[in-house]
Structure 1
Amino acid sequence: MWPGDELTFTGRVVSVDEASGHERVTVEVACHTDTGKRALSGSAVAEYPA
């Protein structure tokens, strides 16, 4: 990545689970440069009361 690059971020919900009165959402995320090269990727988990 360089200053001035245009970045596109995408995400996908992998799973939604409920346990002990909470919901847990797992997502995969990625970032691509304006030339289509993947610059970053990862995953995240969020939990909140159901």
Structure 2
Amino acid sequence: MIKKIGKITIYVNNQEEAKAFWTEKLNFVIKLEQPMGPNMTWLEVGPNECE
């Protein structure tokens, strides 16, 4: 199980699909979600510290 990560940037074509993968498949939690212009969202996910 992943317990700690620095920062990794991954560019994706479909942000909603990537969000679902990280949160539903890997059980990561959303740390930050912020609009970055009209067509992009900055999304930070990470391991759930409570588990």
Greater Cα radius of gyration, structure 1 or 2: 1
TM-score category (smaller protein): 0.3 to 0.5
Higher-strand-fraction structure = 1
Higher-helix-fraction structure = 2
TM-score (normalised: structure 1): 0.33
TM-score (normalised: structure 2): 0.32
